[in-house]
Amino acid sequence: MKIAVVGTGYVGLVTGACFSEMGNTVTCVDTDEKKLDRLRAGEIPIYEPGLEAIVKNNMSRGQLQVTSSLAEAMEVAEYLFIAVGTPPNEDGSADLQHVIAVAREIGRCLKNYLVVINKSTVPVGTAEKVQAAIDDELSKRQLTVDYDVVSNPEFLKEGDAVADFMRPDRVVVGVDNARAAERMKALYGPYSMNRDKLQVMGIRDAELTKYAANAMLATKISFMNEISNLCDRMGVDVDNVRRGIGSDSRIGYSFIYPGAGYGGSCFPKDVKAIISMGRDYQFEPLLLDAVEQRNQAQKQVLFRKIVDYFGENLDGKHFGVWGLAFKPGTDDMREASSLVLINALLDAGASVAAFDPVAMDNARGLLPSDAQNSGKLRFVDNQYDALDAADAMVLMTEWKCFRQPDFSTMKDCMNGTVIFDGRNQYAPELMTEKGYTYIAVGRTNQK
């Protein structure tokens, strides 16, 4: 099949690459010529395990191509995915300007029947806006061309997106007619070889399903963070509570790990967007509002623990930070809890040395340049270098390389013996045995 994908960001590139891997001919479209040149040279603009090999292989075979011309991509396309960004507006609502701009360009170029697929995360009613924009441009051309608009939200986890696409739990498809449903069944047939994974529903149903899924997962995280704060005050080990409730099959273990708050490109944006959607319909989403408020507060918890230990004035204190990305397996720094923590440490007078396996380049552009120029904030090439002369280590991202570190080497590097753990990676008993003061979210070995 011949597919066009508009947008070569996280969702667009993964979508295009994985469809090409299944033998389809895919053209990815982007207006950023520098990004396209990098792709042609075999450089991947995002960190995603397994993606680079698929892109390089299919570009060399001619199954995957890139262009800045939507008209060129549409010449032969049977399916067109809109996979452009929908960043939040100031009020939390999704900004649809890029989606609508693509829809208008489709209307200006459309010649033959096409299935137009919204892959971007978009509010309920967006498909109707896309159709209106296409129809408006066709009207200006005084043409009538048949097409369908479909909602096909993505459910990709950063760090595991290729596997999620190639072996999906489900493929949600929102349509308003049988023809579009059959076209989508044909497109996704190879992904449902062992069982039917396609869930066909109404367009508006599919649009809300994506938001509801992310809001549910964010709710589980904020709930467990709420419990962790109770554990702190009651002298309870939150990990025992987590295991106790997770063994209930109605609850499960996924997304009930307490920490320093969720981040990334999806949960923060989508929770705010669904809150905004509710208010647009004169409904106050009290639970989701609380989820968002807890998450914002949770990003301050670890800094408050540092202040409780060292005092409000951190002048002369030096901290080694392990992990910057919002989660392991990605270089995505959007809404990362590490940004909140490092800015708070710098504002309080501390100095920071930070290490992350893949996210440091992105972090440099998001943290204060004056602190970097003065040496108050340094990025180092080795996790133990981050601990040189540190008064404390702060764990912010649970990369595998941090799970079983050499605690003796750490102690040799550090001035102090304090570990602040934002991801609850270490057992308090082990930290006591190793001679560390251990302060985590809902867990501590302090008496």
**106-137 confidence digits (pLDDT tens):** 999 999 999 999 999 999 999 999 999 999 99
The two three-digit tokens of residue 274, written as one number: 């669904």
In this structure, are strands 2-6 and 79-82 parallel, antiparallel, or unpaired?
parallel
Is 26 strand, coil or helix? strand
Contacts of 8 (CB under 8 A, 6+ apart): 16, 28, 29, 30, 32, 35, 36, 39, 45, 66
Chain-centre distance for alpha carbon 109: 32
* pLDDT tens digits, one per residue of 217-263: 999 999 999 999 999 999 999 999 999 999 999 999 999 999 999 99
Contacts of 130 (CB under 8 A, 6+ apart): 82, 99, 100, 103, 116, 118, 149
* pTM metric for this prediction: 0.93
Whether residue 266 lies in the annotated active site: yes
* pLDDT tens digits, one per residue of 385-395: 999 999 999 99
Residue 447, pLDDT above cutoff 60: no
* Distance set, CA 374 to CA 351, 355, 363, 370 (Å): 10, 18, 17, 6
Compute the half-sphere exposure of residue 85: CA atoms within 13 Å on the CB side of its CA.
Answer: 10
Block residue for tokens 């340094």: 378
Asked whether 73 and 4 are in contact (CB, 8 A), the reply is yes
Residue 445, pLDDT above cutoff 80: no
Quickly state the pLDDT bin for 446 (edges 50, 70, 90): low
Q: Which of 18, 266, 401, 413 is catalytic?
A: 266
Strand partners, 82: 6, 118
57-83: string of b/e by CB count within 10 Å (b at 16+)? ebbeeebbbbeeebeebbeebbbbbbb
pLDDT at residue 193, rounded to an integer: 80
Burial (CB count <10 Å: 0-12, 13-18, 19+), residue 419: buried
Asked whether 155 and 324 are in contact (CB, 8 A), the reply is no
pLDDT at residue 195, rounded to an integer: 83
Average pLDDT, integer, range 1-19: 97
Asked whether 11 and 120 are in contact (CB, 8 A), the reply is yes
Asked whether 207 and 96 are in contact (CB, 8 A), the reply is no
Asked whether 395 and 423 are in contact (CB, 8 A), the reply is yes
Q: How many other β-carbons are positioned within 10 Å of the β-carbon of residue 173? A: 23
Q: Over the chain, what is the mean pLDDT?
A: 95
